[in-house]
Structure 1
Amino acid sequence: MQERDVDIAIIGAGSAGLSAWHAARKHSDSVVLIEGGEYGTTCARVGCMPSKLLIAAAEAAHHARDTEGFGVRVRGEIEVDGGAVMARVKRERDGFVKRVFKSMQRIDEADRITGDARFADPHTLVVGDHTRLRARNIVIATGSRGTWPGFFEAAGDRLVVNDDVFEWDDLPESVAVFGPGVIGLELGQALHRLGVRLRIFGVGGALGPFRDDAVRELADDTFNEEFYVDPDARVESIERDGDQVVISFLERHSGKRLTERFDYLLAATGRRPNLDRLDLEKAGLAIDDKGVPHYNRFTMQCRNADDSPGHVFIAGDANQELPLLHEANTQGRIAGDNAGRYPELRAGLRNVPLAIVFTDPQMATVGASRGELEQRYGGCDCIATGEASFEDQGRAMVMRENRGMMRLYAEHGSGQFLGAELFGPRVEHMAHLLAWSLEQRLSVSRMLEMPYYHPVLEEGLRGALRNLNANLQLGPAITERCMECGPGD
């Protein structure tokens, strides 16, 4: 076994690991990157990019079928060539992966180690059966993988996760999706629009990222006009029969017991961090009940079992905080920088929460939810809400995409904008504007002073801001009252 000493070892060559490597290299030439699986980030290989390729194909099919309302008639039936759809998805996906791999090749081969890493002691990693690394500091960036309840195992090899979808050579006839979160809704709607028979089942009533009851209920009604989704389903049994999965459930609207057959059961029920094979008990870290090290979200530094700050850092999906690409990049950069300068540390800039779901209508959240804000302010009535509907919004009506609503939140007294939940056409762009406004701590009145072109969807955002501004109680007396139970209490 090869013995080697390095300054910094980074476990995982995904988005967080690559960001950590580049940041750490500014402090030392002795940095190694360890990867146990295939090179190429989750985003490029099985996440953001292939899913958007599938969604783009679905949108093309949907728009081709939906021209009648514009007075445009398409003669003949719209046909979806499932094989051609999946061939393009895989071809373009492979191109994105190659670009990532090409950028990785700039890293010296001697600094890239292939194999599964595990701790032998707090400063020593064993990689595969070939390398023993002694590292001054270590960054864990091992990512995550799909997880599902044990009773899904009854589906056998008909049980798939999103990773498997992008390896299909053709589209199946039917799929049962479990989990109406980001992955389940995006892939579910795309498959439906490409002609796949679909049902989506959930537990507990959650739908996408929404926490505001009004927005969630409207999204629920809107999606159910197009395809079946039950966020709080009563599934009685899952069985394998031949090459199909047989699912018995109580139909949401009628309450009748139905038994249906599907080609696949797609589990979109969450992801678990890839930490269970690292032998973390030998790393001397403090671990929570989910097996994740305790860490500081501003430095990404893990704490030792004796509660002292340590030389191990964690970034990206491995810490389960915010499994998003831009967050992985940010966390990786902070972790790598601090691993490089340790024992000196610097608090990294953490951006405001921003999440976007590429369904139609799109879903987005910015900042804190209404519930989180009420908890933050100790239940005090210090939060104002404003809303607007897309049903009568001019540009949305022109496009025949006038579905959805938005709810915005601000602080009484100061008038500072605090967060939003958006459901509507192309809200990815408005979500960015709101995230930038929140980063700059703008007040609602200042946001209303910005230019709004006509006719654009952002005029709907202005309407919500006007409603929010009208509901605000401003002035020092209100501010002082809210500060009594204000942020941080």
Structure 2
Amino acid sequence: MNSYDVAIIGSGPGGYVAAIRCAQLGMKTAIIEKYSTLGGTCLNVGCIPSKALLDSSHHYEDAVKHFEEHGIDIPGDIKINLEKMIARKQSVVDQTTGGIDFLMKKNKIDVYQGVGSFKDATHILISGEESTEIEAKNTIIATGSKPSTLPFITLDKERLITSTEALKLKEIPKHLIVIGGGVIGLELGQVYKRLGAEVSVVEYADRIVPTMDAGVSKELNKVLKKQKFKINASHKVKSVERVGDEVIVKADNKKGVEVEFKGDYCLVAVGRHAYTDGLNAEAAGVKLTERGLVDVNEHLQTSAPNIYAIGDVIKGAMLAHKAEEEGTFVAETIAGQKPHIDYNLIPGVVYTWPEVAAVGKTEEQLKEAGIEYKTGQFPMRALGRSRASMDLDGFVKILADKSTDEILGVHMVGARAADMIAEAVVAMEYRASAEDVSRMSHAHPTFTEAIKEAALAATDDRPLHI
């Protein structure tokens, strides 16, 4: 029987990063993955493939709608080859997962394919083509999450689909009904909207991306409506039925009136739930919460002291980069170091176009906490860079403490917001004030100038370009 200092169950961003960091710290490490490729949901059926399709569909939309304005004339009709687009997406996935294989070999991490389940707190059974058993002084549970559904919906994975199936459709929907106005629904909805589908979003909350700052939600809603999305907030879905090639969704609006939506595909994007099937956690003394999450303390330690859990399988936002931070945190904790994670400074991103990104507190959270704050906001359309690229929608908003000027939250909608948010994270990690950021030189012309201008607006209401 092979023995290890650390075994990781699950090879998503949390699991493989934990494995690499453990190996770097001199621990003999094994990683266990039930699927034939490493990388988990993110690399195989989540972050990476969805961004590949978002980029491809963005190129198509630019060619159809914007190239002529840029002085680029394309003779003949512009056509979509969906099969080729999906194949390119898969090649990106294959390259990325292959990269993880390389990293495992480079760091001398043993990879086991099969379902890992606890025999007890220090022994793991691996059921695959060849079943085996290993011993581990410490184990990290990184089994991730699966798409959630509603109890009355029967997913057939043909017309009633999750994000997994939406990444490999054989045809462009005529009318895609998206249940859920969160990140996954809006991103995949935008892919098919660009390719020619009619898209209707049905959201239970009173606004899309309801966990984000209300100002951001309002701006994104305005932009998507301009892109001809049909957004139906405050709608409670009560039935979903497939009749032949037609999908019928019935929902009650905020007045209690029934509304019917008919389409040819329905994407159910109502969130994700922790995945612990087959783990046999109780055999190791690992407790789960009522919601099925693995219960952990501030050190991400489970009720079994030598077993840790990270990523989507524990509390908190289900984000790949959150899982990565936790993977590093646990590896260093096992090694006897004193790492830290500030969950307030883990950014959230929506990869629509324009992109949406945020870090820190929302206005609603600051009001609820009774914290006095000031706001600085700057529109993207006031930037030379935005006009040059025709990306005029959105804004940057900085929330700062009214008395100390410390930045408490940054929220943005705009081109490259997903990349720009890192500046805000750095500033807040070092407890910068809005004035600190306002006095830093930002290259011109760039989108990040909006951050400087918003900081100027928050400092003493003196933006330069509006």
Q: Does 1:394 align with 2:384?
A: yes
Are the counterparts in 2 of residues 90 and 167 from structure 1 also a CA contact under 8 Å? Answer: no
Task: Quickly say closer, same or farther: Cα 1:108–1:235, change in 2 above 3 A.
Answer: same
Match of 1:196 in 2: 197
Find the aligned partners of 1:31 and 1:95 in 2 and give their Cα distance: 24
- Compute the displacement of 1:14 (Å): 2.1
Find the aligned partners of 2:449 and 2:21 in 1 and give their Cα distance: 41
Deviation per CA, 1:373-410, whole angstroms, max 9, x where unpaired?
344xx414x22122122344433233322112232111
Identity value in percent: 25
Q: What RMSD, in angstroms, separates the aligned Cα atoms of the two structures? A: 2.8
- Compute the displacement of 1:209 (Å): 6.5
AA at the equivalent of 1:59: H
- Compute the displacement of 1:360 (Å): 1.1
Match of 1:90 in 2: 90
Are the counterparts in 1 of residues 9 and 31 from structure 2 also a CA contact under 8 Å? Answer: yes
Match of 2:232 in 1: 230
Find the aligned partners of 1:356 and 1:440 in 2 and give their Cα distance: 21
Query: In terms of mean alpha carbon deviation, does 441-450 or 429-438 score higher?
Result: 429-438
Residue from 416, 428, 439 that aligns with 1:426: 416
Task: Quickly say closer, same or farther: Cα 1:414–1:392, change in 2 above 3 A.
Answer: same
Are the counterparts in 2 of residues 8 and 138 from structure 1 also a CA contact under 8 Å? Answer: yes
Are the counterparts in 2 of residues 330 and 350 from structure 1 also a CA contact under 8 Å? Answer: no
Q: Does 1:323 align with 2:315?
A: no
Are the counterparts in 1 of residues 104 and 111 from structure 2 also a CA contact under 8 Å? Answer: no
Q: Does 1:364 align with 2:357?
A: yes
Deviation per CA, 1:407-440, whole angstroms, max 9, x where unpaired?
2111122111111111122222331211111112
Task: Quickly say closer, same or farther: Cα 1:112–1:390, change in 2 above 3 A.
Answer: closer
Residue from 339, 346, 350 that aligns with 2:338: 346
Task: Quickly say closer, same or farther: Cα 1:249–1:213, change in 2 above 3 A.
Answer: same
Query: In terms of mean alpha carbon deviation, does 272-281 or 168-177 score higher?
Result: 168-177
- Compute the displacement of 1:303 (Å): 3.5
Match of 2:20 in 1: 22
Task: Quickly say closer, same or farther: Cα 1:151–1:451, change in 2 above 3 A.
Answer: same
Are the counterparts in 2 of residues 83 and 171 from structure 1 also a CA contact under 8 Å? Answer: no
Are the counterparts in 2 of residues 239 and 246 from structure 1 also a CA contact under 8 Å? Answer: yes
Task: Quickly say closer, same or farther: Cα 1:345–1:303, change in 2 above 3 A.
Answer: farther
Are the counterparts in 1 of residues 23 and 108 from structure 2 also a CA contact under 8 Å? Answer: no
- Compute the displacement of 1:355 (Å): 1.7
Task: Quickly say closer, same or farther: Cα 1:213–1:172, change in 2 above 3 A.
Answer: closer
State the TM-score, normalized to the length of structure 1.
0.84
- Compute the displacement of 1:330 (Å): 1.7
Unmatched runs of 5 consecutive residues or more in structure 1: 305-309, 473-489
- Compute the displacement of 1:278 (Å): 1.5
Q: Secondary structure at the match of 2:457?
A: helix
Are the counterparts in 1 of residues 281 and 287 from structure 2 also a CA contact under 8 Å? Answer: no
Find the aligned partners of 2:212 and 2:95 in 1 and give their Cα distance: 37
Query: In terms of mean alpha carbon deviation, does 121-130 or 447-456 score higher?
Result: 121-130
Match of 1:52 in 2: 51
Match of 1:8 in 2: 6
Match of 2:118 in 1: 119
Are the counterparts in 2 of residues 142 and 318 from structure 1 also a CA contact under 8 Å? Answer: yes
Find the aligned partners of 1:276 and 1:40 in 2 and give their Cα distance: 18
State the TM-score, normalized to the length of structure 2.
0.88
Match of 2:306 in 1: 311
AA at the equivalent of 2:159: R
Match of 1:104 in 2: 104
Are the counterparts in 2 of residues 7 and 28 from structure 1 also a CA contact under 8 Å? Answer: no
Q: Secondary structure at the match of 2:11?
A: coil
Task: Quickly say closer, same or farther: Cα 1:260–1:283, change in 2 above 3 A.
Answer: same
Match of 1:355 in 2: 348
Task: Quickly say closer, same or farther: Cα 1:8–1:457, change in 2 above 3 A.
Answer: closer
Find the aligned partners of 2:295 and 2:253 in 1 and give their Cα distance: 43
Deviation per CA, 1:192-212, whole angstroms, max 9, x where unpaired?
101123222211134236532
Are the counterparts in 1 of residues 234 and 253 from structure 2 also a CA contact under 8 Å? Answer: no
Task: Quickly say closer, same or farther: Cα 1:75–1:33, change in 2 above 3 A.
Answer: closer
Q: Does 1:458 align with 2:457?
A: no
AA at the equivalent of 1:96: T
Find the aligned partners of 1:257 and 1:328 in 2 and give their Cα distance: 39
Match of 2:60 in 1: 61
Q: Does 1:260 align with 2:262?
A: yes
Find the aligned partners of 1:157 and 1:471 in 2 and give their Cα distance: 54
Find the aligned partners of 2:8 and 2:379 in 1 and give their Cα distance: 47
- Compute the displacement of 1:444 (Å): 1.1
Match of 1:486 in 2: none
Task: Quickly say closer, same or farther: Cα 1:106–1:56, change in 2 above 3 A.
Answer: same
Find the aligned partners of 1:69 and 1:393 in 2 and give their Cα distance: 19
AA at the equivalent of 2:164: D
Match of 1:414 in 2: 404
- Compute the displacement of 1:26 (Å): 4.4
Find the aligned partners of 1:224 and 1:215 in 2 and give their Cα distance: 14
Find the aligned partners of 2:457 and 2:241 in 1 and give their Cα distance: 51
